[in-house]
Amino acid sequence: MTEHKFFQIDAFAEKAMAGGPAAVMPMDAFPAAEVMQAIAAENNLAETAFIVAKGGGAFDLRWFTPALEVPLCGHATLASAHALYAHLGFDGPEIGFDTKSGRLTVKRLGDGRLEMDFPAQPPRVVPMLEELVDAVGARPQELTAGPYLMAIFASPDEIIALKPDLVKVNQIAGEATGGRGNLICAASGAGWKGGSFDVVSRFFAPGSGIPEDPATGSAHCIIAPFFSDRMGKAELNCFQAYPGRGAHITTRLAGERVKLIGRARTVIEGVFRL
């Protein structure tokens, strides 16, 4: 039997039991992929992050949902950085994570928030899909495609009321993007809750084995360039409106990169025995 440190961390969270929960497990070396997949299924969170130290402030990082390994995950990266800074003794100016999406960096800001550097993924506008209108039960104003399909709605209230058919969403979004069948639903936050947020969104991820994700950094790599261009501002205050939780994600567009900024909270710390 082997023992491994285990942290459950709420990422992009202003308080405990908000944002997106992720499991973080530091390892001496990655076990076999099927073992990591079984651990992620056991944890049954949107993502489990596995980190392996390389020295010099660099770490290998892989992410697994309960169903599959994914190439990019923002909230579990933020959670991994939080674990290193808060629990594992890292005190360097910047963490470098080597991943299937290349080198991702995270640094701690003066106010305690964490800032991640991710690739921006601007979507392209595509024709409206009537089958998607039927699947989500509402008509978006506009439709875009990138790594994920993104539907733009008139108001946050429309997004909050959505109850999509996720089987249909999986098929439609997968065919439209040539990738996983995941869907961002987003709207300008102007005038909503006193105008506190620039963008409000939800992320339905049946293609990744997750009905709805509470906090999705990779989705904001698409949201940021689209809405920054439309609104004429580099920095956006975003809210991901998962029912009962809610994630606060600040984005800052910097050329072909996007900074994803937020806080994290540790809610469980323990040992995982294999």
Percent of the chain's residues with pLDDT above 90? 97
Mean per-residue pLDDT of the chain: 96
> pTM higher than 0.85, yes or no?
yes
223 pLDDT more than 90:
yes
Is the pLDDT confidence value at 191 over 90?
Answer: no
Tell me if 235 sits within 8 A of 252, measured CB to CB.
Answer: yes
Closest CA to 140 of 95, 184, 196: 184
Q: At what angle do helices 217-231 and 74-86 cross, to 10 degrees?
A: 110
CA separation for the pair 168, 218 (Å, rounded):
22
- 47 in catalytic set: yes
Which 3 state secondary structure label does DSSP give 255?
coil
Report the 10 Å Cβ neighbour count for 37.
Answer: 18
List pLDDT tens digits, range 64-120. 999 999 999 999 999 999 999 999 999 999 999 999 999 999 999 999 999 999 999
Burial letters 239-256, b for 16+ CB under 10 A, else e: bbbbeebbbbbbbbbeee
Ordered domains of the chain (ranges, CATH): 3-115+263-273 (3.10.310.10), 124-255 (3.10.310.10)
**In the predicted structure, residue 155 carries a pLDDT above the cut 90:** yes
Catalytic residue among 47, 115, 158, 212: 47
Q: What is the pLDDT of residue 199?
A: 98
Q: What value does the mean pLDDT take over residues 26-47?
A: 97
Return the half-sphere exposure (C-beta side, CA atoms, 13 A cut-off) of residue 205. 23
- Per the CB < 8 A criterion, the answer to whether 67 and 208 are in contact is yes
Q: Which helix (H) or strand (E) holds 33?
A: helix 33-43
Half-sphere exposure of 111 (CA within 13 A, CB side): 6
Separation in Å, CA 235 to CA 18, 29, 45, 114, 225: 22, 37, 29, 15, 10
**Per this entry, what is the length of the chain?**
274
